[in-house]
């Protein structure tokens, strides 16, 4: 007697042809219908989350202290920058709530500029804060931007990235936050306005003015260059918060000149001794950015100026071992995935920190040194049956010396 065929009670498809049937109490459902139902539920959940994000309530907003505590889990030190960032993000949420209510007092946005040496955590701060935000957030690089008509990307491509993050929901994108990294790379080459075209410097700064201030900008949906037949998306940047970061290498000299640290005279010598020459960035002022090459109009549109401190030995030690994604923890996890328990002798940490200070690369220097020390072990150990591996000071020194010798031979 032939077996009775089953049919899907949702779409009516017959069993077979690679379909998987799930049996219920009085019927069946095929795998195709299960997938479609899953997609519908996922879209409904995403739409519900979007609506929840757009209807912000004051009680649900993360307070500045909460934002800073979250940043503390991933970024060591930099309390000053964290405070500025936490307050600015909190105020951004409040501005959005005020726009929704249509209040008569209009709160203007306060764009931020963060200055700090390489490897001190500017981009890491931006990436970390993106994890907890309830508005679209994107990180863009200023080095690829050029004036319209030249090789590179148009300034409007910044907003294309924000639209992509917001799934092309213009209303959501208009409430977002943009982090512009390497802002110092678009400084003009001299302190005087350029006579010739400065297509990747002063020209880009002038193009950024309309974005930072707040205006309706026509954005190409796929990014890249604009052309006449292309369909544009109008985006109002009035409620988009811009956070800019840059190393501003050598700006300490501009600060020193302004503070007259080399002027002869007894009174000036006394003032010099009161200055902390190891951390000149704490005295930074808008006129230093102007002397470096940012145009006054763009400095005026970023009223909040903060700095990141150079990393001390203690901060480097903490970065190596303390945060959730600490460098040492990452390597321990990598070896753990091969069933190997990785340990480090305490004196190895001091050796790594000494070398990082010598290289002057900040937290990035720590990563490159640990990578050099561990390279040979990461190559050999997965092919062995070792269950433990201890990194001693002698091993670390020998690996670093070997790597340096190999580089010298290559040169």
Give the structural domain span for 156: 57-307
Whether 278 and 130 map to the same domain: the answer is yes
Instruction: Please count the structural domains in the chain.
Output: 3
Q: Which of 307, 341, 373 is the last residue of a domain?
A: 307
The CATH number linked to 152 is: 3.40.50.300
Cα separation, 239 vs 162, in Å, equals 13
Cα separation, 87 vs 65, in Å, equals 9
Radius of gyration of the chain (CA): 27
Per-residue pLDDT of the chain (411 residues; tens, 9 = 90+): 456 778 888 888 888 777 888 888 888 888 889 999 999 998 887 777 666 555 556 677 889 999 999 999 888 889 999 999 999 989 888 888 876 565 677 788 889 999 988 888 888 898 888 888 878 899 999 988 887 767 778 888 899 999 998 888 899 899 889 999 999 988 876 655 555 566 777 888 888 998 998 889 888 887 666 666 678 889 999 889 999 999 898 898 889 888 875 545 555 555 555 777 778 888 999 999 999 989 999 999 999 999 998 888 888 898 898 888 899 999 999 999 999 999 999 999 999 999 888 888 788 889 989 999 999 999 999 998 889 999 999 999 999 888 875 554 444
On whether the CB atoms of residues 363 and 119 are closer than 8 A, the answer is yes
Q: Which of 290, 307, 324 is the last residue of a domain?
A: 307
H or E stretch at 139: strand 137-141
Tell me how far CA of residue 314 lies from CA of 110, 162, 166, 328, in angstroms: 33, 37, 40, 16
Q: Terminal CA-to-CA distance of the chain, rounded, Å?
A: 82
329: nearest Cα among 369, 367, 373:
367
DSSP string, 300-332: HT--EEEE-PPPPHHHHHHHHHSSTT-HHHHHH
Whether 74 and 204 map to the same domain: the answer is yes
Whether 82 and 202 map to the same domain: the answer is yes
Whether 3 and 61 map to the same domain: the answer is no
Cα separation, 406 vs 411, in Å, equals 9
Whether 83 and 217 map to the same domain: the answer is yes
Q: What is the pTM of this model?
A: 0.76
279: nearest Cα among 97, 84, 115, 147:
115
């Amino acid at each position: 007697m032939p077996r009775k065929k089953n049919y899907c009670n949702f779409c009516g498809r017959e069993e077979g042809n690679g379909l998987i049937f799930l049996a219920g109490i009085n019927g069946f459902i095929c795998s195709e219908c299960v997938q479609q139902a899953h997609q519908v539920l996922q879209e409904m959940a995403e739409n519900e989350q979007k609506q929840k994000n757009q209807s912000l309530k004051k009680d649900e907003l993360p307070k500045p202290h909460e934002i800073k505590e979250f940043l503390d889990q991933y970024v060591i030190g930099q309390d000053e920058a964290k405070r500025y960032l936490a307050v600015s993000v909190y105020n951004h949420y409040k501005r959005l709530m005020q726009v929704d209510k249509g209040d008569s007092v209009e709160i203007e946005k306060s764009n931020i500029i963060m200055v700090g040496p390489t490897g001190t955590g500017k981009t890491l701060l931006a990436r970390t804060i993106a994890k907890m935000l309830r508005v679209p957030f994107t990180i863009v690089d200023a080095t690829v931007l050029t004036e319209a008509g030249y090789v590179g990307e148009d300034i409007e491509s910044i907003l294309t990235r924000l639209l992509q993050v917001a799934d092309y929901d213009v209303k959501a994108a208009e409430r977002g936050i943009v982090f512009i990294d390497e802002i110092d790379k678009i400084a003009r080459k001299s302190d005087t306005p350029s006579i010739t075209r400065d297509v990747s410097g002063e020209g880009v700064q002038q193009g950024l003015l309309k974005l930072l201030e707040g205006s309706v900008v026509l954005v190409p949906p796929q990014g890249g260059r604009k052309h006449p037949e292309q369909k544009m998306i109008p985006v109002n940047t009035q409620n988009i918060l811009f956070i800019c970061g840059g190393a501003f290498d050598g700006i300490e000299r501009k600060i020193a000149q302004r503070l007259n640290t080399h002027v002869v005279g007894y009174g000036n010598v006394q003032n010099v001794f009161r200055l902390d020459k190891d951390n000149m960035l704490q005295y930074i002022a808008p006129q230093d950015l102007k002397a470096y090459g940012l145009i006054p109009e763009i400095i005026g549109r970023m009223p909040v100026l903060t700095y990141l401190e150079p990393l001390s030995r203690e901060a480097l030690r903490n970065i190596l071992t303390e945060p959730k994604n600490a460098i040492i923890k990452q390597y321990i996890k990598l070896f753990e995935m091969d069933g190997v328990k990785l340990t480090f002798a305490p004196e190895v940490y001091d050796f790594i920190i000494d070398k990082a200070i010598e290289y002057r690369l900040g937290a990035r220097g720590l990563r490159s040194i640990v990578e050099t020390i561990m390279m040979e072990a990461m190559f050999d150990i997965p092919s062995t049956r070792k269950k433990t591996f201890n990194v001693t000071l002698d091993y670390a020194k020998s690996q670093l010396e070997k790597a340096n010798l190999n580089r010298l031979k290559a040169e």
